[in-house]
């Protein structure tokens, strides 16, 4: 959707990764604790970056599709919204 909204003469300023980029970068399928290891993380996604110099771009878009289990408290359903507010904060 966003790619289509960028003016053709401005497209060189943007790069859009696909939705699997973050998952691979953070190694969510294997060992999420190793996500902070920069060199290792880079090696996992180097194929996504080999044909584009991301440091020449003004904007990088990395879709993050990461589900976190959560429980909505019943008080948020009754109108006080304090349970929902706590989750969001």
CATH number at 33 reads: 3.30.310.130
Q: Specify if 3 maps to a domain.
A: no
Gap between the Cα atoms of 83 and 72, Å rounded: 7
Model confidence pLDDT, tens digit, residues 14-47? 999 988 888 888 876 676 555 556 777 788 888 8
Q: Specify if 10 maps to a domain.
A: no
Gap between the Cα atoms of 73 and 80, Å rounded: 10
Structure tokens at 38: 């920069």
The total number of structural domains that make up the chain: 1
Q: What distances in angstroms separate CA 81 from CA 7, 47, 68, 69, 70, one per listed residue?
A: 41, 45, 20, 19, 15
Enter the pTM of the model: 0.59
* pLDDT tier for residue 89 given thresholds of 50, 70 and 90: very low
- Residue 62's domain comprises 15-75
Q: Specify if 81 maps to a domain.
A: no
Model confidence pLDDT, tens digit, residues 44-74? 888 888 899 989 999 999 888 766 555 544 4
């Amino acid at each position: 959707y966003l790619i289509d909204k960028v003016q053709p003469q401005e497209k060189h300023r943007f790069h859009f990764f696909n939705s699997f980029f973050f998952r691979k970068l953070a190694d969510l399928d294997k060992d999420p604790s190793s996500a902070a290891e920069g060199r290792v993380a880079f090696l996992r996604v180097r194929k996504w970056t080999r044909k584009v110099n991301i440091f020449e771009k003004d904007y990088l878009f990395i879709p993050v599709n990461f589900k976190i289990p959560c429980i909505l408290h019943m008080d948020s359903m009754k109108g006080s919204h304090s349970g929902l507010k706590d989750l969001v904060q």
